Amino acid sequence: MHQLSRGALVKGAAVAAVAAGFPAIIRERGEAADTLKLGMVAELTGVYAGLASHQLAGAQMAVAAWNARGGVLGKRVELIVEDDQNNPGVAVQKVRKLVNEDKVVALSGSVNSSVVLAVSNAAAENKMVYISCGSADAITGANCHWTTFRVGHSTWMLTHASGYSFSQKFGKKWYAITPDYAYGHALVDGYKDVLAKIGGELVGNDLVPLGTADFSPYLTKVAAAKPDVILALVQGADYVNMLKQAGSFGLIAKFPICTPQLSLEYVWTLPEEARVGYGSTEWYYHSDLVFPQSDTAAVDFVKATRKSSGKPPTNYNTFGYIMLDRLIWSIQKAGGKDAAKMARSLEGAKFTGFFPGDAYFRAVDHQLMWPVWVAKVRSKPPVSDPYDVFDVIDRQPAEKIEQSAEEKAKVCHLGFP
């Protein structure tokens, strides 16, 4: 069993600090001949830039940690990053550049599920291992590939971890405001499954374009539907805009605001009156339900991230770290850059760090199996830590909230060569 890199975390903090400036490459001069190149596509601009910047910082920290220990197979690791501009077509072009011009040996990154699906297809065409964090079920479902692995949770996991909590706490009539692309549609499917099982009802579902600035056409319809819960399925900057406007319409005072995916990056930017609601969190830096404070790897990770950025790590910092740590580990385990050997080495290999127990990529679909937590948003964090805005109240194990291996085998056909 492998433990996530821990000894070099603090050494990697200086590199991670540079991430705020969106560096394109981590490299040292004069070492190109002994360098192993890895590619990353990320939304460095656009609605998900805040999430992607933290994913990049975590990835850089993992690369720095491996390089501090001598790299992999005698080579220094170099991370080459391209901005996918939150656009699937642009992302595919950037993959071609990384593969054909930069000669990377594996791929990582992206937040937007539509971008991840496009990159996943491009990686499969190039027979190159790709570790992502997009949430749409299709990534490890109907659109799965033997080359693609996911560290983030599927929308099925997020909706089932949170949906039962929402119904027990508030009721079974829900109104959804949904981003109109793969991620949002998958979230609705997951919540519909929960509602079917509990005898609930989706009383409204408005599809909104990504990057919506004015939510008033949708919010004005909510009160008439009299839901028990408003499902805020939009994410990123859209989530911030929606919450602020929901407050101005008086909806926050009348209805619980619930979300499948709480992101610190955006909760931190909300005014106090809009810091409300409940939702799934994929990791949290300060909770005994997420990891005990005696966990040296997790504590070192939090300290190193605070040192580099002045803020604690978010779940996207964690995604980025795990993504690159696992990718580099697979190269070491495979004894080289053969993609099929790398993929087989990742399947079922248990590792520890950052959370209680073991995690592993499931062989049937390459989904990372690790817990999902449910949290209540704090309007007022403790004076001792202004970033501590979540109160984690529940933890759901992966095997309980993800579709079974038998169910996934019906839709996911990895197609190994």
% of the chain at pLDDT higher than 70: 93
DSSP characters over 255-272: S-EEES---HHHHTTS-G
CB 64 within 8 A of CB 117: no
Q: What's the pLDDT at 62?
A: 96
Convert the pLDDT of each residue in 104-128 to its tens digit.
Answer: 999 999 999 999 999 999 999 999 9
pLDDT at 66 over 50: yes
Convert the pLDDT of each residue in 129-158 to its tens digit.
Answer: 999 998 889 999 999 999 999 999 999 999
Q: What's the pLDDT at 9?
A: 52
% of the chain at pLDDT higher than 90: 79
Same topology for domains 2-153+289-370 and 156-281+372-401, yes or no? yes
Half-sphere exposure of 342 (CA within 13 A, CB side): 24
Where residue 28 falls among pLDDT bands split at 50, 70, 90?
A: very low
Where residue 29 falls among pLDDT bands split at 50, 70, 90?
A: very low
Convert the pLDDT of each residue in 328-362 to its tens digit.
Answer: 999 999 999 999 999 999 999 999 878 878 899 99
Q: What's the pLDDT at 21?
A: 35
Q: Where are the domains of the chain?
A: 2-153+289-370, 156-281+372-401
Which of 89-93, 184-188, 288-292, 378-382 is predicted with the least confidence, judged by mean pLDDT? 288-292
Where residue 20 falls among pLDDT bands split at 50, 70, 90?
A: very low
Q: What's the pLDDT at 26?
A: 33
The domain 156-281+372-401 is classified under which CATH number: 3.30.470.10, 2.130.10.10, 3.40.190.10, 3.40.50.2300?
3.40.50.2300
Mean pLDDT of 75-83: 97
Which of 7-11, 248-252, 321-325, 355-359 is predicted with the least confidence, judged by mean pLDDT? 7-11
* Domain spanning 2-153+289-370: CATH 3.40.50.2300: yes
Dihedral sign for Cα atoms in the order 310, 314, 318, 324: negative
pLDDT at 6 over 70: no
Q: What's the pLDDT at 245?
A: 95
Q: What's the pLDDT at 77?
A: 97
Strands (E), 110-166: 130-132, 148-150
Dihedral sign for Cα atoms in the order 324, 9, 69, 16: positive
Q: What is the mean pLDDT of the chain?
A: 90
pLDDT at 32 over 50: no
User: 3 or 414: whose pLDDT is higher?
Assistant: 414
Q: Where are the alpha helices (DSSP H) in 139-270?
A: 155-169, 182-198, 216-225, 236-248, 251-254, 264-267
pLDDT at 23 over 70: no
